[in-house]
Structure 1
């Protein structure tokens, strides 16, 4: 019997994040797809299978917040864990208020990422 692994999508314009984060998530036992932009994720065939979205807030073109809004408008209730390199304290409460499961400041620890994923899968 095949083990069904939850699909986590990583959307970040930073190539180093798109390379390192999926490896870590696979070690945790998740299936992973990585995208360089919100538009690339929206154009993919995996929106319906994605169980959690790890999403950079600030990206060229469509931001992480705009992607979250677009998915909501499409009726896709995918839990979101935002990640950001910008230490703007006003952003975190705002994204949590808009339904994000967590907001992590880069660089974050494996423990912080696991806790954020747990919150996302619990539906916080």
Structure 2
């Protein structure tokens, strides 16, 4: 079930971002990487992506703050937050603002694929 619109990957760690984009593309989807939340929000691609995968901890704007900004803009963008430091309180905050999946880094490819299929099926 390929996505015809790209999946945005926002991560300030270049190697993690490239690896995630490569993994998503290997799954048959289209993906585009962004080095920061600000770069994504300021990009022409912001309105053309079908969903978002964002790292929680980034320099500048966090993944959670990025999700808040998107929600405040009125845009509904299916989102997966990823983190190397999962905690229940952050998961709850993310869910309150509409984040559907909160995955641990490094992501299990099967879990990521299941999350993407779920987001894109809605």
TM-score normalised by the chain length of structure 2:
0.90
* Aligned-residue offset at 1:122: 3.5
State how many pairs are aligned.
121
**What does residue 5 of structure 2 align with?**
6
Partner of 1:100: 99
Runs of 4+ in 1 over 4 A off after TM superposition: none
Structure 2 partner of 1:42? 41
Contact 2:71-2:97 at 8 Å conserved across structures: no
Deviation string, structure 1 residues 26-62 (Cα, Å, up to 9, x no partner): 1112111101100000111111111110011111111
C-alpha deviation, 1:4, in angstroms: 6.8
Q: Deviations over 1:67-90 (max 9, x none)?
A: 111112222111110000113232
Residue ranges of structure 1 left out of the alignment (5+ in a row): none
The 5 A counterparts of 1:19-98 are 19-98=18-97
Do 1:5 and 1:29's aligned partners in 2 also have CA atoms closer than 8 Å?
no
Distance 2:3 2:65 in 1: 30
Secondary structure (helix, strand or coil) at the match of 2:75 reads coil
Q: Output the CA distance in 2 between the equivalents of 1:20 and 1:64.
A: 18
Q: State which drifts further: 12-21 or 113-122.
A: 113-122
Structure 2 regions of 5+ residues with no counterpart?
none
**TM-score, normalised to structure 1's length?**
0.89
